[in-house]
Protein backbone atom coordinates (compact mmCIF):
# COMPACT_ATOMS: atom_id res chain seq x y z
CA UNK A 1 0.00 0.00 0.00
CA UNK A 2 1.26 3.44 -0.85
CA UNK A 3 1.38 5.71 2.13
CA UNK A 4 1.00 9.15 0.67
CA UNK A 5 -1.46 11.69 -0.49
CA UNK A 6 -4.05 10.23 -2.81
CA UNK A 7 -4.66 13.41 -4.69
CA UNK A 8 -1.31 14.22 -6.21
CA UNK A 9 -1.68 14.99 -9.88
CA UNK A 10 1.19 15.16 -12.35
CA UNK A 11 0.33 17.48 -15.24
CA UNK A 12 2.50 17.11 -18.35
CA UNK A 13 1.72 20.06 -20.61
CA UNK A 14 3.97 22.29 -22.70
CA UNK A 15 1.48 25.09 -23.34
CA UNK A 16 1.85 27.66 -20.51
CA UNK A 17 -1.77 28.83 -20.75
CA UNK A 18 -3.16 25.31 -20.57
CA UNK A 19 -0.78 24.41 -17.78
CA UNK A 20 -1.84 27.44 -15.75
CA UNK A 21 -5.51 26.68 -16.32
CA UNK A 22 -5.18 23.08 -15.17
CA UNK A 23 -2.97 24.06 -12.24
CA UNK A 24 -5.39 26.75 -11.06
CA UNK A 25 -8.48 24.56 -11.37
CA UNK A 26 -6.95 21.54 -9.67
CA UNK A 27 -5.24 23.50 -6.91
CA UNK A 28 -8.49 25.32 -6.18
CA UNK A 29 -10.21 21.93 -5.96
CA UNK A 30 -7.75 20.73 -3.34
CA UNK A 31 -5.41 18.63 -5.45
CA UNK A 32 -1.64 18.76 -5.18
CA UNK A 33 -0.26 19.57 -8.62
CA UNK A 34 3.16 18.59 -9.95
CA UNK A 35 4.17 19.96 -13.34
CA UNK A 36 6.31 18.93 -16.27
CA UNK A 37 6.57 20.77 -19.57
CA UNK A 38 8.09 17.97 -21.64
CA UNK A 39 7.71 14.22 -21.86
CA UNK A 40 11.16 13.41 -20.49
CA UNK A 41 10.50 15.40 -17.31
CA UNK A 42 7.08 13.78 -17.08
CA UNK A 43 8.63 10.31 -17.11
CA UNK A 44 11.20 11.32 -14.49
CA UNK A 45 8.62 12.91 -12.17
CA UNK A 46 6.29 9.95 -12.58
CA UNK A 47 9.04 7.78 -11.09
CA UNK A 48 10.29 10.24 -8.49
CA UNK A 49 7.03 11.67 -7.20
CA UNK A 50 4.68 8.68 -7.58
CA UNK A 51 1.62 10.74 -8.48
CA UNK A 52 -1.86 9.25 -8.10
CA UNK A 53 -2.86 10.37 -11.57
CA UNK A 54 -1.10 11.74 -14.62
CA UNK A 55 -2.71 14.14 -17.11
CA UNK A 56 -0.64 13.81 -20.27
CA UNK A 57 -0.72 16.19 -23.20
CA UNK A 58 -0.09 14.18 -26.36
CA UNK A 59 1.80 16.80 -28.37
CA UNK A 60 4.96 17.68 -26.48
CA UNK A 61 8.44 18.83 -27.41
CA UNK A 62 10.89 15.92 -27.51
CA UNK A 63 9.14 12.62 -26.90
CA UNK A 64 5.37 12.81 -27.32
CA UNK A 65 2.76 11.77 -24.79
CA UNK A 66 2.43 8.27 -26.16
CA UNK A 67 6.16 7.61 -25.90
CA UNK A 68 6.18 9.12 -22.41
CA UNK A 69 3.37 6.76 -21.42
CA UNK A 70 5.29 3.80 -22.83
CA UNK A 71 8.35 4.71 -20.75
CA UNK A 72 6.28 5.26 -17.61
CA UNK A 73 4.71 1.84 -18.02
CA UNK A 74 8.11 0.14 -18.34
CA UNK A 75 8.64 0.41 -14.61
CA UNK A 76 5.29 1.32 -13.17
CA UNK A 77 4.30 -1.40 -10.75
CA UNK A 78 1.45 0.58 -9.23
CA UNK A 79 -0.10 1.25 -12.65
CA UNK A 80 -0.83 4.90 -12.13
CA UNK A 81 -3.80 6.01 -14.24
CA UNK A 82 -2.55 8.07 -17.18
CA UNK A 83 -5.10 10.23 -18.98
CA UNK A 84 -4.50 11.74 -22.41
CA UNK A 85 -5.32 15.44 -22.70
CA UNK A 86 -5.74 16.47 -26.28
CA UNK A 87 -7.87 18.06 -28.92
CA UNK A 88 -8.89 15.01 -30.89
CA UNK A 89 -9.17 16.15 -34.46
CA UNK A 90 -10.14 12.73 -35.67
CA UNK A 91 -11.44 9.51 -34.19
CA UNK A 92 -8.23 7.95 -35.41
CA UNK A 93 -6.28 9.97 -32.84
CA UNK A 94 -8.63 8.83 -30.11
CA UNK A 95 -8.24 5.20 -31.14
CA UNK A 96 -4.47 5.55 -31.18
CA UNK A 97 -4.53 6.98 -27.68
CA UNK A 98 -6.52 4.08 -26.33
CA UNK A 99 -4.42 1.57 -28.24
CA UNK A 100 -1.36 3.14 -26.62
CA UNK A 101 -2.70 2.22 -23.20
CA UNK A 102 -4.09 5.45 -21.83
CA UNK A 103 -6.71 4.97 -19.14
CA UNK A 104 -8.92 7.71 -20.47
CA UNK A 105 -8.88 11.11 -22.05
CA UNK A 106 -9.87 14.70 -21.42
CA UNK A 107 -10.68 16.77 -24.45
CA UNK A 108 -9.30 20.20 -25.09
CA UNK A 109 -10.41 22.86 -24.71
CA UNK A 110 -10.48 21.89 -21.05
CA UNK A 111 -13.73 22.49 -19.23
CA UNK A 112 -13.02 24.37 -16.02
CA UNK A 113 -16.35 23.21 -14.67
CA UNK A 114 -15.97 19.54 -15.54
CA UNK A 115 -12.27 18.94 -14.87
CA UNK A 116 -12.34 18.45 -11.06
CA UNK A 117 -14.96 15.71 -11.29
CA UNK A 118 -13.24 14.13 -14.29
CA UNK A 119 -10.06 13.95 -12.22
CA UNK A 120 -11.91 12.43 -9.24
CA UNK A 121 -13.40 9.82 -11.55
CA UNK A 122 -10.03 8.94 -13.05
CA UNK A 123 -8.45 8.69 -9.59
CA UNK A 124 -10.80 5.81 -8.86
CA UNK A 125 -9.07 3.83 -11.61
CA UNK A 126 -5.91 3.74 -9.52
CA UNK A 127 -4.89 0.98 -7.17
CA UNK A 128 -4.22 3.27 -4.23
CA UNK A 129 -7.60 3.04 -2.55
CA UNK A 130 -11.00 4.62 -2.63
CA UNK A 131 -14.26 3.01 -3.70
CA UNK A 132 -14.03 0.72 -6.70
Min separation Cβ 28 and Mn ion, Å: 23
- Footprint of Mn ion on residues 32-91 (CB under 5 A)? 57, 59
Q: State the sign of the Cα–Cα–Cα–Cα dihedral 83, 89, 91, 93.
A: negative
Phi and psi at residue 31, in whole multiples of 5°?
A: -85, 150
| Nearest 10 degrees: Cα torsion 39, 44, 46, 48 | -160
Residue 14 lies near Mn ion (rule: CB under 5 A)? yes
Round to whole Å and give the CA distance between 4 and 6.
6
For Mn ion, which is the closer residue by CB, 14 or 67? 14
DSSP code at position 13: -
Min separation Cβ 65 and Mn ion, Å: 8
**Number of residues near Mn ion (by CB under 5 A):** 3
Which residue number is nearest to Mn ion in terms of Cβ? 59
Which of these ranges, 9-17, 79-87, 95-103, 122-130, lies near Mn ion under the rule CB under 5 A? 9-17
Min separation Cβ 54 and Mn ion, Å: 15
Strand order in the sheet with 53-57: 32-36, 8-12, 53-57, 82-86, 104-107
Min separation Cβ 58 and Mn ion, Å: 7
List residues binding Mn ion (CB under 5 A). Answer: 14, 57, 59
Amino acid sequence: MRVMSQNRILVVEDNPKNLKLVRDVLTFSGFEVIEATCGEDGVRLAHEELPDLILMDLQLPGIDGMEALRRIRESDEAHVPVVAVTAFAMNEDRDRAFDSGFDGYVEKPISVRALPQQVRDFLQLGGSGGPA
